[in-house]
Every structure is written in structure tokens, then in C-alpha cells.
Structure 1
């Protein structure tokens, strides 16, 4: 594990009434400590998990539209608003890694194909943009993710079927066996959250706090739906 702590430089913030400092989890943030090689950020949309993950990517000097330190391309609205106000504590510091955001992956895939200069050896011999969304995600994970690195992933399940999410769990497991990889993943997926011995940090209730797998709303709601589908749909559609 490399990244040990994120600190909000509160003395630099002029107002906690303006975005992104008005987001409750940012407003109440002082320090966030990482204790596991795999950490999940969970929470409702708008809770701030992607905002914080993007700020960490910005301080790592990764392209905040997706990529690493060597990926230079522009995507609208990809600049971090929080990166200048946090400090990262490392032991040891690493510069290798990758930031993946599902919403801008198409632009990233075009950029990576261009950098590969037509060889496509890094992606299984086929251009990323000519693969399906899920296939291109998996090609990136399986061919470009290596050891001694930090990987920041924003909702990777967006392009992955349940079966591919299980394959992705195996990718994580293989990386963890090398014992020199750290992953921070923002997700809504009950499947990904099931990775063993990971730390799950909830961004709900206006604060960042540790939670257990079975206690996450994602797991509880999914389990309830599967067990009581007819009842839940009846309540949902009742006028």
C-alpha cells in the first residue's frame, strides 16, 4: 500500500458554501486514512465519492479525464475543483498508476489507440475503440494494469456485465497477489463490493465512515429486491 492519507487543507478554503466544499462530506472532511490495499467508496449519486476520487487523481498528476501522467488530451469538464485543496501522504510515493472514469472512457480509448501507433499489442491485438465497451474495459485491465502502482477507478462496473464483474474481481485478486498494488474504487456494484478483505467507506449520512459489506444499501436493496421482487414492484408501481 502506498497512499496512506488524504488531508483537506481547510485553511486554504475561503468558503464552505461554494462547490465542491459545500458537499457535506467535503465540508466535514479533515483527514481520510487508508488501511487496506483495496478501498471502495460507496454512496448515493452526488455524495462526493467521485469528486474526492478525481481530486486524488489530480494530485497524482493523472489526467482527470482518465489515464496516467503520460496521457495528454482534453475532455470538457474534466478539471478537478478539489485537487488544489488536498494533500496526499505516501509511504513510499509512487508515480505509476491510472485513473479510470467510465463517463469519458471512449475518448480515453481513442487516445490510447493513437498512442499505441496501430500496433495494439497492449490491448490483445485489437483497437480499444473497435471493441465493445465491456471488452475494452477488460482489455485495459488485463493488459495494462501491472504492479507497483495505484489505480483509481470511478464506477468501472458501468461497462461490465455481472459475469465480467466477476472476471474483474479475479483481475483485482491477481494484482493483489503481487502485493505492490493499491486500488481505490468508487462503485455501486454489490458484486465488486464483495471483494474479500477490502475496506468499504460509505459517503452517505453526510460523512465518510467505514461500513461492512452486508450493511451497504447497495447490498441490502439488491438482496431485498431479489427475495421480494413482486412485493417491491407492487409497492413501486402503486398509485
Structure 2
């Protein structure tokens, strides 16, 4: 594991977001991470995504989106939180990434734009070349293009959203590091969620990756060896899978859907 605990130092006295969130204030007491896979669970607005974004800014992780974490306008609050956030790390790593499902389209466009630019550069050289062996001139450019295609596919956005999302993870989780993922289920079918779970288990065992994932999915959070931290009533507490509100509500609904549907 890389990150062992999360806590705040010197919370600012002025009442400004995100320090108005009870969950963020509660981090004056350290929260320990005990597994290579940790799930943040809780209702929308509970603070789990805010904390995950703050961790990404603190670590300055590469982002799977249209802009880096340190300049993305939507992460201004995260950068403010990062100034006061402390992450106790047993070992540091330069690998990892921060991913939000809504950023994936931006990531796809970036890769497609790079491939298109390389194609234009290749064509321009081919149309204007007057020197010797053109193979040498095009070698590095074609090599860069082929590497992008090998990792991500030439037409990444032609795949289903879920397939492309999983292909991204396969390509980018290459070694030990911290991988922060916010609500991956919004891009994945239930079957693809199971595929993501298998990939996470594989990468933990093979490359000692650490995952911290904010999720509402009772499928994803069922990973047996994972730590589950529930964000509820202004506190972060470790719970068992079947103690989560997500599991209990989902199971209750599936057992007796007619009871819930009568109330609609």
C-alpha cells in the first residue's frame, strides 16, 4: 500500500467550502486505510467525491480528462482542500491516475486528436519530402501513432462506452501506484462492473496497485477483500458490505419490488 491514512492539518477558520462539509471537518481525526482496495460509499453530497478529488490534487495525479488536475476549472475546490490535506504514505509512487466517468469522453477525444495530428504530420512529410530515405523521417512519428493505437485502439469512441472504459484501465494501470476512480459504474453495465472487479483484483496481485474508489454500486463494493468506508451523518466509518445502505436497500427492493413500487 502507498497511502496509509488521510487527515487534515490546520483547517481554515473561515467557513468556506469544502470545509463546511461535516465529513471534511471529521478528518481532523485520521482515517486509516487497511486494504489495497478501499471504497468510499454514501449518498450524493456526503463528501466522498470531494475527498477523492482533493486526494488527486494533493498527489497531482494524471487525470483521464480534458485538463490536468492542477488546472482543471472543475477541480478548484479540490486544489483548495489539497493545501490542508495530509496523506501518510509508506511508499511514494509516480504512477497512478484520477478518473471520473464523465471525463472519459474528453479522454477519448484527446487520444483521437493526437492520432489525427500524427496522421496530418505524416501526410505533410510524405507530400513535401525531397530528401533521402523517408523511412527514417517517418519512423518516430509512425511509432508514436502505433503505440497509441496499440494501447487504446484507433477508433476508441466506436466501442461501447463500457468497453472503452475498461480498455482505458487495462492500458493505464501498468504498475504499482495509486488509482483514484470516481463512480465508474455510471459508464458500466452490471456485466462490465464484474469485469472491472476482476481487473482490480488482477492488478492488485500483479503490480501491487492501490485503488480508492467512490461508488454507489452494490456490485462493485462486494469485492471481498476491500475496505468499505461509509460517509454518513458527518462521519467516516468502516462497515461491512451487508451493513451498507446500498446493499440493504438494493436487496430489500429485489426481494419485494411491489412494496416499493406501490409507493411511487
Pair in the same fold by TM > 0.5: yes
From the two aligned structures, give the one with the greater helix fraction. 2
Q: Is the 8 A contact 1:4 1:34 kept in 2?
A: yes
Aligned to 1:100: 99
Q: In structure 2, what is the Cα distance between the partners aligned to 1:24 and 1:78?
A: 20
Q: Is the 8 A contact 1:73 1:111 kept in 2?
A: no
Change (3 A) 1:200 1:130: same
Aligned to 2:140: none
After superposing on structure 2, the runs of 4+ consecutive aligned residues of structure 1 that deviate more than 6 Å are none
Q: Which secondary structure state, in structure 2, belongs to the residue aligned with residue 47 of structure 1?
A: coil
Q: In structure 2, what is the Cα distance between the partners aligned to 1:73 and 1:105?
A: 18
Aligned to 1:227: 255
For the aligned residues, what is the CA RMSD? 2.1
State whether structure 2 residue 57 is matched by structure 1 residue 29. Answer: no
Change (3 A) 1:75 1:127: farther
| Equivalent residues, number | 230
Aligned to 1:121: 150
Residue-by-residue CA offset, 1:78-127 (whole Å, 9 max, x unaligned): 3323111101211111110010011222112222444565432112x333
Aligned to 2:129: none
- Listed as ranges, the matches of 1:57-206 within 5 Å are 57-63=56-62, 66-67=63-64, 75-79=72-76, 80=78, 81-115=80-114, 117=118, 118-119=145-146, 120-123=149-152, 125-178=153-206, 180-206=208-234
1:149 positional shift: 1.2
Structure 1 runs not aligned, ≥5 long: none
- Which structure is larger by alpha-carbon Rg, 1 or 2? 2
Aligned to 1:213: 241
Structure 2 runs not aligned, ≥5 long: 119-144
Q: In structure 2, what is the Cα distance between the partners aligned to 1:205 and 1:115?
A: 45
Aligned to 1:2: 2
